[in-house]
Each structure stands twice: as C-alpha cells, then as structure tokens.
A and B are shown apart, each in its own frame.
Chain A
Amino acid sequence: MGAPQDLGGFGPFDVRPTAEGATIRERLLRSPPFIGLLALALLLLIWQWIAWVNTRVPGIDEIVRFMVTEMSGGSHGGALTGEFWAPLATSMQRYAVGLAIGVPIGAALGLLIGAFRWARGLFNDTVLVLLALPAVVWAFLAALWFGLSAWGPILAVVLTVVPFMAVNLSAGVRNIEPGLIQMSRSFDVPFGRRFVHLLFGGSLPSGFTGLRLAFMTGWNSLLIVEWFGATSGVGWRARFWYDALRYPGFVGWIFLFVILITLLDRLLLSPLERRAFRWNQQPTLTFEEEL
C-alpha cells in the first residue's frame, strides 16, 4: 500500500434530481445505517452460501454456537474446554504495547523526514524498504529472533507500524502550504510555536490516516506472528482449532479478529480522522456517504 491519496469515486455521478416528497419507506431504503446493515447481510449471506456448497466450511449458526461455548468456558467435547478472555487479553496487550512503541517512533521519524532535507536523505529509503517488506517477513523474523516469547509479536507490530506512520506524516508535512511556512518565517515565529501549530497541526490529517493504516496493518501482522510463533493469543487460538480440525472454532476466531478491528476503526479511528480532516479536506479510505 502506498501513501493514500484523496477520497475515491462514488461522487456525484448520477445527476438525476431526487424525488421531492420521498415516502418513509423510500427514505428508510436510502438511509446509511440501513445500507450498512444490508451490505453486512450481503457478505454474511455469501458466507452462508459458501457453507452450503462446501461441506468443510462451517455455517454461521455453527460458528456462533462454538464461540458461545468458547466464551462460557464450556466443554467442546473431550478434555477441550473453552478459552476466550485469556487469548484475547494477551493479544490486546501485545497490540497495545506494540502501538505504544511504534506510533511515537514512526511519528517522530515522519516529522523529521518531512521537515529536514538531510533527514529525508538519511531515512527515506530505509523507511521505503521497511514499507515494501510484507508483514509476513517481519512476522517470521520476529518469531525467529524471539522464539515463543511475547516480544516477537510486539516487535512485528512495531516494525509494521513505524513505516506507515513515517510515510504518511512526512507526506503531510510536505503538503503544508509553502506560503504559510514563508509567512511564519517572515514574521519570525519562534521554532517551538512553528513546530506545534504549523508542522504538527498541518500534518495532523495525514497523521491520522497513517494511524488508521498503522492500526490495521499492525493487527494484521500480530495475527500472522501469533499463528506461526506463539503459544497464546488470538492467532494461536485460531491455529489451535485449525490444527484440531475444528473449523467452526478456527473461523469463529478469525471472524472475531475481523470484527474487533472493524469496530475499532468504525468507532474510534474513522471519526477521529474525519475530525482531523474537517478543517481543510476530506478523509481518505472512505466512500462518500452523502446523497
């Protein structure tokens, strides 16, 4: 993924005027929450259809039943008992530590690269190399360096988060209106204030875009590294059920993994990004929701 650009299609393409007195039913059909639900239902329906066609694939009812047992700590048959909160808490902890280390480093690097030419020459290529390496390479390296300890997943999160933050923030700094920089120079605004209001304020929107991408890719590489080299966490639990040929458990944990990041993105990151962009432009990575 390169640095994201501005908002994509789905703009005012259809120029037909909207009907003036739309009925309640029509308004409901057009309301964003309804369309969101419909989109979700469509995806679930596709899954259920695959489950009907392919006997190896568990249906949604099986997945839900399995996950309820898992959550309540009941028996899955034999000596296998449900485990839910422990793997989840472990993964969350690793994710939080990785982000807490990676985001500030990436942000500092991005501001440096954006603000100073020498820093750009020095670090830009390295950051691009880090960005180009797929998360799976980091996951494997981290697993081999730290074995089964908790530091492998954390390092993998840090290493995927840093380049995303750095690339987006430096792009943000470079996109700051040059006129503003010149003006602040001519008016002899002290460096500290220039840093806070101009550099930091101006790059904030792309910083949030970077943050969003970083959260998503960090979560991604956490799952990979836990799948291949951990004895706890969401990724490990999914792998555990896969190896035990209990596909509902495996799919259930993968779905949970998707649901968690989607919720985080929808409830926290996306509104933050929208807010940060409100003063000048539209956010990236979203489809237009007006009309």
Chain B
Amino acid sequence: MSTVSTVTPGSVSELSARELRRAAWSRWGYRLSVVAGWVVFVGVWYLVARLVLTPQQLPQPHVVAVEAWDVLRLREFGGNFQASILRVAAGFLLALLLSVGLGLLIAYSRWWRRLLGRVLQFVVSIPTVSFAVLSLIVLGISPMGPILNTMIVATPYITTNLAQGLTGVDRRLIVMSESFGRTRAQIIVGVLIPSSLLSILGGARLAFAVAWRVALLTEIFASADGIGLQIRRSFESYDIQGMLAWALLFIVIMLLIENLVLRQVERRLSRWRTPATGVAP
C-alpha cells in the first residue's frame, strides 16, 4: 500500500517538520483528553447529583469540598487523623518485626518456607472485611483491632518480598565476603540488607496500600475514635457530605504518602541499581 518516493534533502526536512508537528499535536491532544477526562468526571458527578439523586443522597462536588475544609478546620481532624495514622504505623512496625522472624524461618529451611508460603497464601485470600468484623468479638471496641489487622494483612506482603529480596542477593558477593574473612554480622549488614532493601521497600509500599484500607475498615466496625469512626457516624446520621469529606481527606493523604513519600524513598535508595518493584504474594 505504501509507495516508495524519492528522497531529497528538502523533502526530508519537510517530512520531519510535519512529523514533529504531528507529535506535538498528539502530545497536546493527550493532555487535552486528560483534562477532558476530569471535566467529564466532575460533570457526571454534578449531573447525577442534580438530576438523578437528591442532595441527601449525593451532594454536589463543591459542597463536599467546602465540607472537607470545614472538617479540616473545625472538627478535630488532627486528633482523629493522629489516632488512625499511629495505629497504621504501629501495625506496620509489628508486621516488619514478624516478617523478619518469619524470614529467618524461611531462610532456615525449605520445608518451613513451603509451609509458611501456604499459610500466608491462605491469609491473603481471606477477604479483609472478615478481619475487621472478627476483631469486633475477639477484641471488642478497642484500639488494638486496627493495629492487629494492619499487622495481619501487611505481613504476607512484606514477608514475600523479604524472601524475594534474599533470593535475589548475588551469591558471589557472599562467597567473596567470606573469602575475605568478613564476619557473619558484617555480611548481613554490608551485603544482605543493602541488596534486599529495595524489594523489601517495594513490598512495604504494597503492604501499606492494603494496610491503611484495612485499618480504616476496622475502625468503621470497631473503634472508639479515628477517621473510620467519624465516617461511620456520618453514615449512620445520613450525613453524606460529612462522610464523603472525611473519607476523601483521609484517602487523599494516604495516597500522597503512598505515591510521593514511599515512592521517593524507594527511588532515592535505588539510584545505585536497577529498580525493583514490590511483588504481590
């Protein structure tokens, strides 16, 4: 279908100019479509809110934005947020400790690795809401629920990536360190930890994404304070704009932590090597 044309210097520059123009246009076209996407998203929200549902069912976007600003200024956002984020952090820390313990078992024997792999696989396949509900009766209304559930859900991700990271360590580096008479501790600090750090971090990022959702869910079912409780309270008093405002504020902050802070740390630490990403168990 294409015909071969003779090429002269003039036609080449003409062609490349046209190509450049087309590339620039398509870049702008893409940006335009992104903007159009947001316009459509907000527009559909407005349309549904105005025409299909009542304001008690779905408030318009600007109402939610004003409400969020209100929540931020007037309604103890700081205290509730602190309670929630501290629980996520505590659960996460516990998950890290547990993962190191499990990692030792995994490194110790193949049989343990297979057994733990199976156990973790079971745990991952349990719908997260069941942990939230079960903590209601195991722990009652208590701050331990979100912490323990964060730990349970985050552990498989971190452990898998720890195992993955240890597997990926260049064996020749270990052999070399041994022949140069390095001690065990030196090898762990100098070789094992730096080489597996990245995949652990990648796993930690994935784990965090699951963990804060579980913590929120657990707070909704069983907690005396925190963002989750505020969302549930708003829901139970049919205050949709309050519910959306609390939820959106928390989600935006968590996504920022996930995508800016954790990703930046990962990028910074991975400058010296090709990046590794987290692996789902």
Most B Cβ at <10 Å: residue of A122, A238, A265: A122
Interface residue SS majority, chain B: helix
In the bound complex, residues from chain A placing their C-beta under 8 Å from that of B82 are none
Give the 4 A-B residue pairs with the shortest CB-CB distance, closest first: A121-B33, A9-B163, A9-B164, A39-B118
Which residues of the other chain, B, contact A36 by a CB distance below 8 angstroms? 118
Min C-beta distance of A281 to chain B, whole Å: 13
Q: Among B3-11, B23-31, B187-195, B264-272, which stretch is in contact with chain A?
A: B23-31
Check B41 against A1 for contact (C-beta < 8 Å). no
CA distance A126 to B113 in the complex (A): 40
Any chain A CB within 8 A of the CB of B238?
A: yes
Q: B159: shortest Cβ distance to chain A, in Å?
A: 8
Q: Which residues of A contact B113 (CB under 8 A)?
A: 10, 13-14
B125 touches A250 (CB 8 A): no
Some 25 contacts from A to B, beta carbons below 8 A apart, are: A1-B210, A8-B280, A10-B163, A10-B164, A14-B109, A30-B111, A38-B115, A57-B138, A117-B26, A117-B30, A120-B33, A121-B37, A122-B36, A133-B247, A134-B251, A137-B243, A137-B247, A140-B243, A145-B57, A223-B129, A227-B129, A250-B133, A254-B134, A257-B127, A258-B127
**Which B residues contact A (CB, under 8 angstroms)?**
1, 26, 29-34, 36-38, 40-41, 53, 57-58, 106-107, 109-111, 113-115, 117-130, 133-134, 136-138, 140, 159-167, 206, 209-210, 213, 216-217, 220, 231, 235, 238, 240, 243-244, 247, 251, 255, 277-281
A203 at the interface (CB under 8 A from B): no
Q: Are A251 and B114 neighbours in the complex by a CB distance under 8 Å?
A: no
Number of A-B residue pairs having CB atoms within 8 Å of each other in the complex: 202
Q: A287-B117, A287-B120, A291-B114 are in contact. Are A132 and B255 (CB under 8 A)?
A: yes
Size bracket, chain A contacts? 35 or more
Other-chain residue from A5, A12, A258, A284 in contact with B167 (beta carbon distance below 8 A): A12
Beyond known contacts A5-B277, A8-B163: 14 more, CB 8 A cutoff: A10-B163, A13-B113, A14-B113, A32-B114, A57-B138, A117-B33, A118-B30, A121-B36, A123-B37, A126-B40, A133-B251, A223-B127, A254-B133, A257-B130
Name which of A10, A137, A258 has the most chain B CB atoms within 10 A of its CB: A10
Residue of B nearest to A219 (CB): B127
Contacts of A143 in B (CB 8 A): 235
